[in-house]
A and B are shown apart, each in its own frame.
Chain A
Amino acid sequence: MGTRGGWAALRRRSLSFFLDWLAWGYIAYTVMYLLNHYWYTVYVDWYGTLKLPSWGWPLVVLGTLELAVWSRALGRSLGLRAFGLEVTCPSLGRRILRAFLWHVSVLPLGIGVWLGRGEPWHDRLAGTRVRAVPKEPERPGRRALATQWGAMAAVLLVLTLWLGWLIIGINLQVLGRRAPWAAGIWRQMLRPDFRYFLESDPAFALRNLPFSILDLMVVTIFMAFLATVLGAAVAFPLSFFGARNIMGFSPVGWAVYGLTRGFFNVFRSIETILWAVVFAVWVGFGTFAGVLALTIHTIAALGKLYSEQVEGVSPGPLEAVWAAGGSRWQVVRYAVLPQVVPSFWAFTLYRWDINVRMATVIALVGGGGIGDMLFYYKNLSDWPKVGAVVMVIVAVVWTMDYLSGRLRERIT
């Protein structure tokens, strides 16, 4: 076994072991939480506190470690399965021997692993071997649940749902109890008040300018449009820097690629609403902050989608342009672009849908647009007017969705 292969194999083994340990740790934690919840404390606050004496924690750590070791020795655990490994073994006795030997071999600073040279002591002495599962179809008749990893996965799932139910505070009674009250609001909203659809509402004045529903809806559509166009315009050139096949494999290429992709991923993971908070503080409440927020998120989201399209182009035409003496950007212009333009259009239109929907609620955090009016009426509990605004929003969003869907169909 080559050193490099040896390292990779060792890494896989260790990671799969830690995954097992983690799984058992999680199971132990959940069980303790549930015990605590149902037996030891009468009242559990929102997050539920887990009380253990100070010697309890080391016990949990060691106990779960034991569970991990034994579960791996005795069958195919979740961790082994996740990394496509299995422990081959002549007999049950050997498996038990392996679990005992593990303590001698690994606990003293992993001495048996280092000295074992690719085959740790506990495997050598017990005659067992950890290997990648050969790629043959699973034996039929063995359902996932009948296997150890399947059972572990099922237990994890059930415990998580149980825990989730308790932590979230799901309360079906409230849902029923307050239904009549909510129905009253619904009834009012379904009798919408369109008085201020065209005429501006004198009571609702934003920066001393009175607005009607229609005015603000138009403003909102402009916001979405501007953000989509600006975002796409910036994402378009950036996306080529975030594509492996364009940037090549030089150190500079890697750096630019990594930075661009990193930018896309980080900025995309911050939701538009959060960006709106940032920009509302920066440039003040209003549509400008909203457009900036929408634009930033559009750049990152479209940039990532575009880059992936660029990476997925078939390499043949690129080769042809290189071979004819084309330069890098000529390759992009003549071999990459023709392949990606249709999907770029499709993604941009799709993003337009998202931006229209987002623009209608971004006012919640100071981003301006129709949402301003929506939340204004909501705070006054003026439900008929809320109903009117909501209906206009629904109509517009639905129309835009439909239009962009039709356009997408025609393009691709």
Chain B
Amino acid sequence: MANPYLVVENLTKVYERGQVVALRDLSFSVEKGEFLVVIGLSGSGKSTLLRCINRLVEPTKGKIYLDGVDVTRLSSARMRRVRRRIGMIFQQFNLIDRSTAIGNVLTGRLGYTPAWRALLGWFSKADRDRALANLERVGLRDKAYVRADQLSGGQRQRVGIARALMQEPELLLADEPVSALDPATSHSVMQYLEQMNREDGVTVLASLHFLSLARRYGTRIIALKDGQLVFDGPPGAIDDTRFKEIYGEEAEEVEVR
């Protein structure tokens, strides 16, 4: 049997500032095509975990194999080549406000753009067409030349998705992609992720705040508590006891419809 697509082994992250142990000896693996949802209270280490995988955050200890390659040992130049296959979308969208939607989407292509072209801002015709096609796909073709700060939250996150699509990713990291959105918009954004997962075969790792969303979209759920893995299994397996384990005794489950 082939190795799993992504393997995380004994991953530990200690932030030097404040000596915070954000992840403790974390191990799990992900098969190609899974939609893995990471849940946990805020501060449990979800963002840190996702950022260790594309090394926006340097892991302190442990290994991360992506397609059999240990990314923790890659030089920064080789890491960049790996990163361009990993799309990422963010809780706060991380768009450049003063730039247009298409300007933001095109930055997703930077990993593939020759240095001099990127310096001058000359993206190829193919990239521009691709950007428009991806905006079309997230239903924002008509907003292509609108400044990002003129868009609503949901629209901004969809620009973020289009930006990630530009990378033609095989893995998508989504750090609380819908936490800043209202419930209805949340579902529309999550559906785009689901579509990427099902139709393009993109492996998705998404951290989510609400268990109901996790159950609805995840093919598997892992839960973190104080940087440790406290659950790993199918969405159906999280019952009331499990829930209390993850979120604490006082927590009540909130439904997002």
Residues of A within 8 A of B (CB): 316-317, 319-327, 329-330, 333-335, 338-339, 342
Contacts and interface: CB of A to CB of B under 8 A. Distances in A.
Contacts of A320: 88, 90, 94-95, 107, 160, 163
A317 B96 contact: yes
B93 interface: yes
Given A317-B94, A320-B90, A335-B96, A325 B167 contact: yes
B47 to A, nearest CB: 11
Contacts of A323: 54, 56, 83, 86-88, 173
A321 B87 CA distance: 11
B145 to A, nearest CB: 15
Contacts of B108: 324
A2 to B, nearest CB: 11
Given A325-B167, A339-B98, 18 more contacts: A316-B90, A316-B95, A317-B94, A320-B88, A320-B160, A322-B83, A323-B87, A323-B173, A324-B84, A324-B109, A324-B164, A325-B80, A325-B81, A325-B111, A327-B115, A334-B110, A338-B99, A339-B96
Interface residues of B, number: 34
Given A319-B56, A333-B118, A333-B119, A326 B111 contact: yes
Nearest to A323: B88
Contacts of B56: 319, 322-323
B35 to A, nearest CB: 19
Q: Which secondary structure dominates where chain A touches chain B?
A: helix
A324 B94 contact: no
Contacts of A333: 118-119, 121
B196 to A, nearest CB: 16
Given A317-B95, A342-B98, A326 B110 contact: yes
B92 interface: yes
Contacts of A324: 83-84, 87-88, 107-111, 163-164, 166-167
Contacts of A329: 119
Contacts of B93: 316
Interface of B: 54, 56, 80-84, 86-88, 90, 92-96, 98-99, 107-112, 115, 118-119, 121, 160, 163-164, 166-167, 173
A329 B119 CA distance: 9
Contacts of A325: 80-84, 110-112, 167
B105 to A, nearest CB: 11
Contacts of A326: 80, 107, 110-111
Most buried by A among B80, B96, B166: B96
A256 B136 CA distance: 45
B257 to A, nearest CB: 29
16 contacts: A316-B92, A317-B94, A319-B94, A321-B110, A324-B88, A324-B111, A324-B163, A325-B82, A325-B83, A325-B167, A330-B110, A333-B121, A334-B107, A334-B110, A338-B96, A338-B98
A26 to B, nearest CB: 38
Contacts of B92: 316
Nearest to A341: B98
Nearest to B118: A330
A334 B111 CA distance: 12
Most buried by B among A316, A317, A319, A339: A317
A342 B99 CA distance: 12
Given A319-B90, A334-B110, A327 B96 contact: no
A321 B90 contact: no
Contacts of B84: 324-325
Contacts of A321: 107, 110
Nearest to B86: A323
Contacts of B166: 324
B84 to A, nearest CB: 3
Contacts of A316: 90, 92-95
Contacts of B82: 325
Nearest to A315: B94
B169 to A, nearest CB: 9
Q: Which 7 A-B pairs have the closest CB atoms?
A: A325-B111, A325-B84, A316-B94, A323-B88, A325-B83, A320-B94, A326-B110
A116 B160 CA distance: 59
